[in-house]
Amino acid sequence: MLRQEIEKNFQEAVKEKKEREVSTLRMLKAAILERERKKRYKLIQEGKEKEVILSDEEMIEIVMSEIKKRKESLALFRKGKRDDLISQTEKEIEILERYLPEQASPEEIRTLAREIIRKTGAKEMKDMGQVMSQLMGRLKGKAEGKLVSEIVRELLSE
């Protein structure tokens, strides 16, 4: 399970005094705990009090969200010419990407998108939502939404 892998890597990083990795994994663990807390609170509101354990799929969503935050920060750091923060953030992204499944290549995404466009009969940009929902369901954790969106937009505008 992904949670045990993250915890094991965190413990190793602490022992080996890898400060950047410890810091990044600590932030990831905090994000996981926050998601569990919110889920537990929701269950309590519904009158269903039980232990909350996130699935690997939910954990991957959290990792992708953390990567996305850092990529957004990276763009701002580049704009501000903050080389110190750029290299630090790139390292954090690299650490987090270890916990994602193998990412689909743009060509794999394109092939799958064409198949879904053909199946749904999508022809215009207004059909993009329908294509995206099916495509993201099949690519969950294997591709960034921004890349998938760009490819679908490109295929629908051909």
Both tokens of residue 38? 């919110």
Average pLDDT, the chain: 92
- Dihedral of CA atoms 23, 1, 133, 154 in degrees, nearest 10, equals 60
Which amino acid, one-letter code, is at 133? Answer: S
Q: Is the pLDDT of residue 49 over 80?
A: no
Neighbours of 93 (CB within 10 A): 17
Least confident of 15-24, 90-99, 108-117, 122-131: 122-131
* Domains by residue range for the chain, with CATH: 2-97 (1.10.1510.10), 106-156 (1.10.10.410)
Query: Distance between CA 41 and CA 25 in Å, rounded?
Result: 24
Tell me what pLDDT residue 20 has: 96
Tell me what pLDDT residue 50 has: 74
